[in-house]
Structure 1
């Protein structure tokens, strides 16, 4: 079963939306040791990149 088939058959859930730049909890530490809050925008971008890498591998 492909990722697209799984996505098409998966039940849809309502996901709460946050302001894209509002911290959603948690942080990362950059190379200089600075704490950077994780935002909704960062999570969405990471999910898109992961999905794109899975689709490219399945071809």
Structure 2
């Protein structure tokens, strides 16, 4: 549940910042950007958790 909350908060933050950065007044491009970043974060989380991830 912790990862879901963090990912959803980051998704909203990415969407808001992309909306201001692109500055078109439309929702399409910021939504695509935020969705791609969400998929990237979830992929990294999955990759790290699929094996016993240790630093030694």
TM-score interval, normalised by the smaller of the two chains:
0.3 to 0.5
Bigger fraction of residues in strand? 1
| Bigger-Rg structure (1/2) | 1
Bigger fraction of residues in helix: 2
Question: Relative CO higher for 1 or 2, CA cutoff 8 Å, sep ≥ 6?
Answer: 2
Q: TM-score, normalised by structure 1?
A: 0.39
